[in-house]
Amino acid sequence: MAEILIAPDALTVVVAAILRAAGSDQREADLVAANLVEANLAGHDSHGVGMLPRYIEVVLAGDLPPNQHPTIELDTGPLLRVNGNGGYGQVIGMETMEFGIARARQHGVCLVSLTNSHHLGRIGQWAEQCVAAGLVSVHFVNVLPRPMVAPFAGRDGRFSTNPFCVGIPLKEQPPFILDFATSRIAAGKVRVAYNKGEALKPETLLDAAGEPTTDPRHLVVAPLGALLPFGEHKGYGLAMACELMAGAVAGGQTLHEAGSTRKQIINNMLSILIDPRIYGTQDVCTQQAAAFVDWVKASPPRGDQEVLIAGDPERRTKAQRSAHGIPVDERTWEEIRAAAKRVNVTIPN
């Protein structure tokens, strides 16, 4: 399917206008739009502007209240428990990380749980916010309410894509940002493949009968199948750890029933923020981390490949798309235009 190239700034303006018309104030519209476009710039179209039609649908259904902010339910200093009040995760996530960063700088560490947030988007955004403040961070996330990932050896969805993320600042070089869904691919990447008319790689998806398929429609059009976890039993175990850490330990909710038809995406997240400066390990961390990264990247490459670290592909894609524009497939653009029409905004063809 054909794609169009859109300049990042122009795309941000369009998305913000739609969000504003759907009820967000200007600050929220700008933050959500910038976050979505940033995901596209990083090459993660699954978490980019293609999510906007679903957001508008959920807003109009009354399940995503605009202009919400997180409220602190427990604050002991290094321990925070925060309620997202069902608001846009792009705002809730940023403001919650601001709380956590302030406490970690004061106490050296902060354990912050965020419950009841709408879709937090690309979790790497929150690790990047932490490393920009000089902090190390670890994030466990679960996703409600639709089970769409099968357990290892299972045939139907029992949990969702449950992201895991780690951010580590590196002196005089870009940070280490590890951010991935615990399913073979993120659910949004299935939507992107469906919109583009592309097949998935084998051993990625099961159909509604629990049989392997490469057709992305089986996660988009009912009857719905299920994604497989990455790494067989290892990815399955990490997915369960994310569910239990974010959905239970953090005081949120685990996914333990099927049948919901609601379009909202609720995230819970348990984050560990560490300030190496106060912890007394900053000099050692800086030296050892740089030495290790240099050692790893010096490995002789296989063929025409290059040894990279987590975060490098996103940075390269951002540079390329910033210069040449963000590709948006025709079906996704039509979905965005339809969402705009629902809130009485007209955008170009």
Q: Where are the domains of the chain?
A: 1-67+314-349, 70-183+229-298
Q: Which residues fall within 8 angstroms of residue 122, CB to CB, at 6 or more apart?
A: 35, 38, 39, 42, 44, 47, 179
Q: What is the pLDDT of residues 289-341, one digit of tens each?
A: 989 999 999 999 999 999 999 999 999 999 999 999 999 999 999 999 999 99
pLDDT for residue 67 is more than 90: yes
Percent of residues, the chain, with pLDDT higher than 70: 99
* Average pLDDT score over residue span 224-236: 97
Q: Which residues fall within 8 angstroms of residue 192, CB to CB, at 6 or more apart?
A: 45, 46, 50, 329, 332
- CATH number listed for the domain at residues 1-67+314-349: 1.10.1530.10
* Average pLDDT score over residue span 265-281: 97
Task: Classify domain 70-183+229-298 by CATH architecture.
Answer: 2-Layer Sandwich (3.30)
Per-residue confidence (pLDDT) for residue 280, from 0 to 100: 93
Q: What is the pTM of this model?
A: 0.96
Kindly give the pairing relationship between strand 79-83 and strand 109-118: parallel
